[in-house]
Amino acid sequence: MIFSLQASPASPILDVPSVALLVLAVVALAFASVAQSVEQAVQRLTLAG
């Protein structure tokens, strides 16, 4: 699958602000997931220790 991110009037959805917001949302979700996993690991270590 090849996505062509061309700034054409036919596809106003793929303009720069929308792509930037989408990337920020994905990064935020990934960061939240990693933070939750780290928190669970720390709790396990604390309970084990």
Domain positions in the chain: 16-48
Higher-pLDDT residue of 21 and 3 is 21
Gyration radius of the chain over CA positions: 19
Residue 14, pLDDT score: 61
2 pLDDT more than 70 = no
Residue-wise pLDDT for 10-49, tens only, equals 555 567 888 889 999 999 999 999 999 999 999 999 998 7
Residue 16, pLDDT score: 81
Give this prediction's pTM: 0.55
Q: How far apart are CA 17 and CA 38, in angstroms?
A: 31
Residue 13, pLDDT score: 55
Q: How far apart are CA 35 and CA 30, in angstroms?
A: 9
